[in-house]
Chains A and B, each alone.
Chain A
Amino acid sequence: MASGAPAKRVDAVRALRDAGVTALLTFGLFLPLIGFQTVTDVRNDLILNTRWPLLFAVVALVGFSRLAYSFAIEPWLQNRALKPAVEPAAWRGKVARWIIPFAIGFVVAYPAIVLATAGFGRSVKWIDNFGIQVLIYVMLGWGLNIVVGLAGLLDLGYVAFYAVGAYSYALLAKTFGFSFWILLPLAGTLASFWGILLGFPVLRLRGDYLAIVTLAFGEIIRIVLINWVDLTNGYAGITSIPRPTFFGIPFNADDDGFAAVFGLEYSPIYRTIFLYYLILALAFLTAFVTLRLRRLPVGRAWEALREDEIACRSLGINTTNTKLTAFAMGAMFAGFAGSFFAARQGFISPDSFTFLESATILSIVVLGGMGSQIGVAIAAVVMIGGTEIMRELDFLKLVFGSTFDPTQYRMLLFGLAMVLIMIWRPRGLITTRQPSVVLKERKAIASDLVKEGHG
């Protein structure tokens, strides 16, 4: 190393002591719940099994990790801190300029790429589980981004509007037989109406309090969906919801179905690809509308509200209308996404609209870096794609034995990832922001300089 002071030698005694303490702590932490397992025996009584090997394996693993941290990672971190901060390399700017066109090209070509690599039969899974699933969350993230990222209103009940959209589509399509294309705007309108309705009482609240009240509203809507059995069929949910058609041509094996009309062999893949492009178009619509709105007075008012509500009010901005439009716009996109979700699944039940969904969407927005659309998209790919990929890790069964089920650990790792990403980058992945109004030149501002989320 040419510059900077030489790194301190690692204190082996201290490192060993730290590792010992950590191992002891881990033993204490995991003794009750990993050391013992409560199982039901043949007489249906609860008994305890012991799992000492597993407990000691975990303790040893944590102890050795702590040792490795003291010997390898800590000196490296200290060295890095000693070095002068380097200017971002020139290639970064170039990558940043090309990343968005490249990403758009990739998502448009994604079904073709999957078809070419995975073959006809297996690609349904890859387009459906990865493509559509991730895009739904990208769209929900972008919708919530209007409320949380732009207007700075912390909303923990966003899934309520998603549910309103899904149930509006399902009920109206089943009862009156309206088509998807009529119901899509209608579901969005209904959801934004609910956004305004629930937004009204909480106008005076801010920060954590707002978060908790929106959480309560989200739960109330879910409990009503469960208990209003006449309308929603309760826990059992609504089945056989009509699927969207390709401009009137249904995706089925009939003579007037999509495959027959276009002279193709019948396969479920056509519907999946159609749905993929549908959600892609909806997501792009969300992004485009948000981008345009940011240039309008209402978008600027949102951002002003996020930065400082009191200053905003003293400048003569009507904060009531500003907040309500943010709630309404955010809810509308959730309604679109909800009706798409109902049309794609063909089945909805209150289980799909739990608090966990709201927390997932909010975490995508915050992990992406509030207000940054590309950051939200990256976070959705990492968090949702990452947990979906856990379903595919069958090779782990070879390592841990055939009873090992990687899907069990999906949400466990999801929660852990939320904590770790927050500690690593508290402001999210993309922290710089582009102001929508500039005086002379356009430049990115580090988000450390602004404080948002107080309004």
Chain B
Amino acid sequence: MEVFLQQLINGITLGSIYGLIAIGYTMVFGIIGMVNFAHGDVFMVSSFIALVAFLLLVSLLGSSSIALVLIVAMLFTSLVNWTIERLAYRPLRGSFRLAPLISAIGMSIFLSNFVQVTQGPRNKSIPPMVQGDFVLFTKNDYPVTLSVKQLIIWIVTAVLLVCFWYLVTRTRLGRAQRACEQDQKMAALVGVDVDRTISMTFVIAAALAAVAGTMYLMYYGVVSFADGFVPGVKAFTAAVLGGIGSLPGAVIGGILIGLIETMWSAYFSIDYKDVAAFSVLAITLIFLPQGLFGRPDVEKV
């Protein structure tokens, strides 16, 4: 029981990070119908931006610099993703369907190698940003702990999700987004600036990925240029599991994937934890292609 509770805490923390990345996948897929393959690498780039910002600011501000690091990472990552959309995806909109996918795979290879060339291939580890644990209770000499890091991740994720929920359901931009999702041509006819809306979608996706990237760096304290791929695929799995195009689905899917991964590592085999996540992806797509909260795909002739 106590092991289970501890894994539950760890799994929800990991799942929050996946959920934040998954929202980026699901939003972009919802609006332009493409799997943004480079999104995992955008997450990795954001983690590096947070790393640089942390090293710059920590000597000035100490551990309270996290808030500032988060904002810096969000700003710069948004700029990166905005540029990627402008250069690599927008010229291909309305083109042959595989073209954006290949372009995104190319962008993903470019980003990870860009970081490798500019920052070096080695793992970058930093001293812990925040320390401290709360021991919730101890049973059979096994303390169930909730660390300050985990608490920060939970709070930041929850607060951002509320802000984000407000943005999508209550603002003009959110309405424009949902309109573009349903019918881009019609949205353009009633005066929605489709290009701008799609750009903003990429900016929001990047900002959330940057939050995930900063949290990832804070939680693990280490990042390398190759860290984009596996979290990216897992977050995509989360988006698929929750039902692609559905925002609450992405978050719940993320938490489920985080839980499956930590429980699998704790009770079965840590070597095969990625196999568990990938199998969930395959099984979901085969037996429940619309996901938990998605709309079924209507086949049109």
- Chain A residues with CB under 8 Å of chain B are 25, 28-29, 31-34, 36-40, 45-48, 154, 201-202, 204-205, 207-209, 211-213, 215-217, 219-220, 223-224, 226-227, 310-311, 355-356, 359, 362-363, 366-367, 370, 408-409, 411-412, 414-419, 422-423, 426-427, 451, 453-454
Q: Are A418 and B103 in contact (CB under 8 A)?
A: yes
The count of residues in chain B whose C-beta lies closer than 8 Å to any C-beta of chain A is: 65
Choose one: A39, A204, A227, A423; the contact of B103 (CB below 8 Å).
A423
Choose one: B53, B126, B240; the contact of A46 (CB below 8 Å).
B126
Contact residues in A for B101 (Cβ distance below 8 Å): 154, 208, 211
Q: Are A415 and B97 in contact (CB under 8 A)?
A: no
Q: Is B109 an interface residue (CB 8 A)?
A: yes
Q: Are A412 and B110 in contact (CB under 8 A)?
A: yes
Measured CA separation A246–B136 after assembly (Å): 71
Residue ID in chain B nearest A152 by CB atoms = B98
Measured CA separation A422–B116 after assembly (Å): 24
Q: Are A416 and B96 in contact (CB under 8 A)?
A: no
Contact residues in B for A34 (Cβ distance below 8 Å): 118
Residue ID in chain A nearest B53 by CB atoms = A32
Measured CA separation A130–B34 after assembly (Å): 35
Name which of B14-22, B153-161, B170-178, B268-276 contacts chain A: B268-276
Q: Are A426 and B282 in contact (CB under 8 A)?
A: no
Q: Is B289 an interface residue (CB 8 A)?
A: yes
Contact residues in B for A215 (Cβ distance below 8 Å): 233
Q: Are A154 and B98 in contact (CB under 8 A)?
A: yes
Q: Are B109 and A359 in contact (CB under 8 A)?
A: yes
Residue ID in chain B nearest A417 by CB atoms = B106
Query: Do A46 and B125 form a contact, CB below 8 Å, given A205-B286, A219-B233, A453-B98?
Result: yes
Query: Do A426 and B80 form a contact, CB below 8 Å, given A38-B55, A415-B107?
Result: no
Contact residues in B for A412 (Cβ distance below 8 Å): 110, 113-114, 117
Measured CA separation A415–B45 after assembly (Å): 16
Contact residues in A for B95 (Cβ distance below 8 Å): 426
Q: Is B205 an interface residue (CB 8 A)?
A: no
Choose one: A208, A226, A409; the contact of B35 (CB below 8 Å).
A208
Choose one: A38, A366, A427, A454; the contact of B124 (CB below 8 Å).
A38
Contact residues in B for A355 (Cβ distance below 8 Å): 229
Q: Is B120 an interface residue (CB 8 A)?
A: yes
Query: Do A419 and B88 form a contact, CB below 8 Å, given A33-B49, A46-B55, A46-B124?
Result: yes
Q: Are A415 and B113 in contact (CB under 8 A)?
A: yes
Q: Are B102 and A201 in contact (CB under 8 A)?
A: no
Contact residues in A for B233 (Cβ distance below 8 Å): 215-216, 219
Contact residues in B for A423 (Cβ distance below 8 Å): 88, 91-92, 103
Distance in Å from the Cβ of B61 to the closest Cβ of chain A?
15
Q: Are B278 and A426 in contact (CB under 8 A)?
A: no
Q: Are B79 and A416 in contact (CB under 8 A)?
A: no
Q: Is B183 an interface residue (CB 8 A)?
A: no
Residue ID in chain B nearest A234 by CB atoms = B271
Contact residues in B for A411 (Cβ distance below 8 Å): 109, 113
Distance in Å from the Cβ of A39 to the closest Cβ of chain B?
7
Q: Are A29 and B51 in contact (CB under 8 A)?
A: no
Query: Do A37 and B118 form a contact, CB below 8 Å, given A25-B83, A48-B52, A204-B286?
Result: yes
Residue ID in chain B nearest A405 by CB atoms = B117
Distance in Å from the Cβ of B272 to the closest Cβ of chain A?
6
Q: Are B110 and A415 in contact (CB under 8 A)?
A: yes
Distance in Å from the Cβ of B276 to the closest Cβ of chain A?
10
Contact residues in B for A417 (Cβ distance below 8 Å): 106
Q: Are B35 and A211 in contact (CB under 8 A)?
A: yes
Contact residues in B for A45 (Cβ distance below 8 Å): 127
Measured CA separation A38–B222 after assembly (Å): 12
Most A CB contacts (10 A, CB to CB) among B98, B107, B122, B286 go to: B98
Measured CA separation A71–B144 after assembly (Å): 66
Q: Are B118 and A212 in contact (CB under 8 A)?
A: no
Contact residues in B for A453 (Cβ distance below 8 Å): 96-98
Q: Are B106 and A36 in contact (CB under 8 A)?
A: no
Distance in Å from the Cβ of A361 to the closest Cβ of chain B?
11
Contact residues in A for B109 (Cβ distance below 8 Å): 356, 359, 411, 414-415, 418
Distance in Å from the Cβ of A363 to the closest Cβ of chain B?
6
Query: Do A363 and B97 form a contact, CB below 8 Å, given A32-B76, A220-B275?
Result: no
A-B contact pairs, 28 of them (CB 8 A): A32-B76, A36-B55, A38-B48, A46-B124, A48-B52, A154-B98, A154-B101, A201-B286, A202-B282, A208-B35, A208-B101, A209-B289, A212-B35, A213-B286, A223-B271, A226-B271, A310-B299, A412-B117, A415-B108, A415-B110, A418-B102, A419-B107, A422-B92, A422-B100, A423-B88, A423-B91, A427-B96, A453-B97
Q: Is B64 an interface residue (CB 8 A)?
A: no
Q: Are A409 and B117 in contact (CB under 8 A)?
A: yes
Q: Is B1 an interface residue (CB 8 A)?
A: no
Contact residues in B for A426 (Cβ distance below 8 Å): 92, 95-96, 99
Measured CA separation A411–B272 after assembly (Å): 29
Q: Are B282 and A216 in contact (CB under 8 A)?
A: yes
Q: Is B152 an interface residue (CB 8 A)?
A: no
Measured CA separation A356–B226 after assembly (Å): 12
Q: Are B49 and A359 in contact (CB under 8 A)?
A: no
Residue ID in chain B nearest A216 by CB atoms = B278
Distance in Å from the Cβ of A400 to the closest Cβ of chain B?
13
Contact residues in B for A427 (Cβ distance below 8 Å): 96, 99
Most A CB contacts (10 A, CB to CB) among B91, B101, B274 go to: B101
Query: Do A363 and B102 form a contact, CB below 8 Å, given A219-B274, A310-B301, A422-B92?
Result: yes
Q: Is B281 an interface residue (CB 8 A)?
A: yes
Query: Do A416 and B282 form a contact, CB below 8 Å, given A37-B118, A154-B98, A355-B229?
Result: no
Contact residues in B for A32 (Cβ distance below 8 Å): 48-49, 52-53, 76
Choose one: A46, A220, A227, A422; the contact of B278 (CB below 8 Å).
A220
Most B CB contacts (10 A, CB to CB) among A39, A215, A217 go to: A215
Distance in Å from the Cβ of A367 to the closest Cβ of chain B?
7
Contact residues in A for B106 (Cβ distance below 8 Å): 363, 414-419, 422
Contact residues in A for B63 (Cβ distance below 8 Å): none
Measured CA separation A427–B99 after assembly (Å): 7
Contact residues in A for B53 (Cβ distance below 8 Å): 32
Choose one: A33, A226, A366; the contact of B45 (CB below 8 Å).
A33
